[in-house]
Chain A
Amino acid sequence: MAKKILMDSETIDRTIVRITSEILEKNKGARELAVIGIRTRGVHIAERIVKRINKLEKIKPPMGTLDITLYRDDLRRKTEWPKVERTEIPFSVEDKEVILVDDVIYTGRTTRAALEEIMDFGRPSSIQLVAMVDRGHRELPIQPDYLGIQVNTLSTEKVRVHLKETDGKDEVIVKKG
């Protein structure tokens, strides 16, 4: 199977540094920030962003993890329902600037589910989206506010973000379907 590396470990590091700076610039610091990662890999990217914010601003914004399974819009057609993992948002999202983190943005349906789930926890003053890769093919009017890279893909191809925490090494690859 043909596989192409889109980002290596260093590029991923630099991208997280850049995205974090953009977040801090746009929000004028980190005081009202909260970072929420979408399971599984969005959580690890979110952790890295929080670490970087802490280093730059000496503030550790609250962090949460989101499992969007119960909010999917394809539950009624999927043949096999995914296992439900735990959502953990151990802080109030009221009036927070929520930074929502996902690894890949594709149809936009995961983001839609995540937005709905966060709203059930309260009313943040804003939700801003971070994606490491935008692979196109959006089916909903949703765009990332902070983006690693944009790539043109065929819908038959697979884009995978691999991270040390789950996959042993950092890389973003695209595979022919």
Chain B
Amino acid sequence: MTFQRKHILGLEELSAEEITLILDTAESMKEVSARDVKKVPALRGVTVCNLFYEPSTRTRSSFEIAEKRLSADVLNFTLSHSSVTKGETLLDTARNLEAMGASVIVIRHPMSGSPWLLAKELNSSIINAGDGSHEHPSQALLDLFTIREMKGEIKGLKVAIVGDILHSRVARSNVWGLIKLGAEVRVVGPPTLIPKYIENANARTFYNLEEAIEGADVIIMLRIQMERQESVYFPSLREYSRFYGLTREKLKGADKDATVMHPGPINRGIELSSDIADDASSVILDQVSNGIAVRMAMFYLVASAGRNQ
């Protein structure tokens, strides 16, 4: 199959075949990062703009490295330096970037749905780098890539996603991606942090961590996002950690080769006990290097599809 999408906005709208094509392409891209000269000329002459309305170091750096490895010209727009602080609207800013020649725009924005607005209004290809608490497709794709690399295939795996499902765009994108590729998805967290969409997505809901991770092949631990907790969803961090923090003892119920993943940055001692965090950190570093390959694949595929439309 060939990739027909000009934009990559979320995993909810991608098919299993499209997701698999992105992962396969990423596998080929991974080798480029192991070379002496870590650069291929595929996107020469293409200008990519990273438009970040939220602070982000690792996602933005990963996107930027991916763009540079494909020889694209890179333009960075971050909140503190941009005209946003002077009151310009998102669309006006984006239109300006397009006028400067950007043909791919990577956007992170605190409002859910903003990448769709740009996709509708602009001619550029849009890549969603995280919109509000909605989707974060590149992170989910790199999680899927890492899981596939470690376990061989995703179909049939039991995957538990633990923590603040409600505010987590990583969780949402992962739920869609994992289910499309045939995994059995279980989400677990305090009832206040389990959103409604889970029922429609065919994921199973648990409120007890031990039950949720029984026999699990992969456990994705989410970060408690202090900055997104506008009201109180659980009584105290200590209580949260006692019920939903992963420890060596609780992990015994999972598959003996279970992989623990975390999108980072880890709150040590809250989501993960320190010893588990140490074990998980090697996977986390894998995820970082896989992230570059996955984002290179996303650029290659949207640039190719964008050219036909």
Contact = CB atoms under 8 A, between A and B. Distances in A.
Interface residues of A, number: 22
Contact of B41 (A67, A84, A116): A116
A79 B35 CA distance: 29
How many interface residues does chain B have, given as a range?
A: 20 to 34
Interface in B18-65: 21, 24-25, 27-29, 31-32, 35-37, 39-42, 45
A80 B78 CA distance: 33
Interface stretch (A9-17, A85-93, A135-143): A85-93
B307 interface: yes
B28 A85 contact: yes
A94 B165 CA distance: 51
Nearest to B24: A83
Contacts of B41: 70-71, 116
A122 B300 contact: no
Contacts of A75: 42, 304
B2 interface: yes
Given A71-B40, A121-B36, A122-B36, A79 B27 contact: no
B200 interface: no
Interface of A is mostly: loop
Nearest to B305: A81
B35 A88 contact: no
A76 interface: yes
Nearest to B39: A120
A83 B40 contact: no
Interface string A147-173: 000000000000000000000000000
Contacts of A70: 32, 40-42, 70, 300
B28 A67 contact: yes
A76 B35 contact: no
Contacts of A88: 31
A81 B6 CA distance: 13
B36 A81 contact: no
Given A70-B40, A120-B39, A86 B308 contact: no
B36 A120 contact: yes
